[in-house]
Chains A and B, each alone.
Chain A
């Protein structure tokens, strides 16, 4: 179906962006900023969609999706995947920090090497 090519490109591009995002060693500030910008973007889209319901249908038709609800579903899936990736990334980061903290604590409480009595 030729008229669906646009939505296919859009969805695959979004997923590709996530893949790149996952590979890049990100700096904290940039990630935080990107996350906040995308939150604002989503918010803006949501407001526009509420105010002009017909707009979603028009956009859906323009990119080759039959109904506005379908477009919303696609968008939801993309946002969900992106959110999952960001969350797991944050989780791994936290895990590293916890490891360093726990290790420092464990070593601080251990007896000094050489002081151990047999």
Chain B
């Protein structure tokens, strides 16, 4: 779980998540607020980046840490602002253990539960088209932070995009490594909090830049 300045909500998010997933690694990406303390108080292992590197870097650090536990079989990436549903995450891990797939990506567009704004929808759809064309992996959602992976997937997907372009990078690496993938419908809970903090549409420009000038 990448964590950056979510001190207001992260304790509650982790407390709820721990009821379902006992082992939670929170990577504090150089937060300037009390995020790390809140996460530790809620019972997560907190790995602290000494400086802010970006969400992609935090994800990779968290996966590195989790992989160092040889008993860990399945890995879930989960946003720390509470916009993901635990029931979705649990269902994805269950599918991962039962179906012959290496990675399951959440998609908010597979059912009608998620209500993104109009602009956001258009931008995400454009991103999906871009990803499908550039990676050959067919997905319906481009930037969904809820993913479930097995050891094989984590070991071949090495996130080198420190910032937001990591989502596209993961999809590209799924394609390059011929991982077996599936999508799972997830509900993104847009609260006033997540909307106020959420990604600016301008990030599209930054993501494209990061992808082109590697």
Contact = CB atoms under 8 A, between A and B. Distances in A.
Interface stretch (B60-68, B132-140, B185-193): B60-68
B92 to A, nearest CB: 22
Contact of B27 (A22, A96, A99, A106): A106
A110 B47 contact: yes
Contact of B49 (A96, A106, A114, A116): A106
B50 A105 contact: yes
Contact of B61 (A107, A113, A116): A107
- Does more than half of chain B's interface fall in helix, strand or loop, or is it mixed? loop
Using C-beta atoms within 8 Å of the partner chain, give the interface range for chain A.
Answer: 10 to 19
Contact of A113 (B53, B65, B214): B65
A107 to B, nearest CB: 6
A95 B32 CA distance: 21
A73 B71 CA distance: 64
Most central of A22, A102, A118 by chain B CB within 10 Å: A102
A69 interface: no
Contact of A107 (B22, B23, B47, B213): B47
Contacts, number: 54
A99 B47 contact: no
B162 A103 contact: no
B87 interface: no
A106 B214 contact: no
- Does more than half of chain A's interface fall in helix, strand or loop, or is it mixed? helix
B166 to A, nearest CB: 12
A109 interface: yes
Interface in A75-118: 88, 92, 95-96, 98-99, 102-103, 105-107, 109-111, 113-114, 116, 118
B73 interface: no
B160 interface: yes
B50 A102 contact: yes
Given A88-B213, A95-B162, A102-B53, A109 B48 contact: yes
Nearest to B66: A113
Contacts of A96: 160
Nearest to A113: B69
The 3 closest A-B CB pairs, nearest first, are: A113-B69, A110-B47, A103-B61
16 contacts: A92-B213, A98-B51, A99-B53, A102-B53, A103-B61, A106-B49, A107-B65, A107-B68, A109-B47, A110-B46, A110-B47, A113-B45, A113-B65, A113-B68, A113-B72, A118-B22
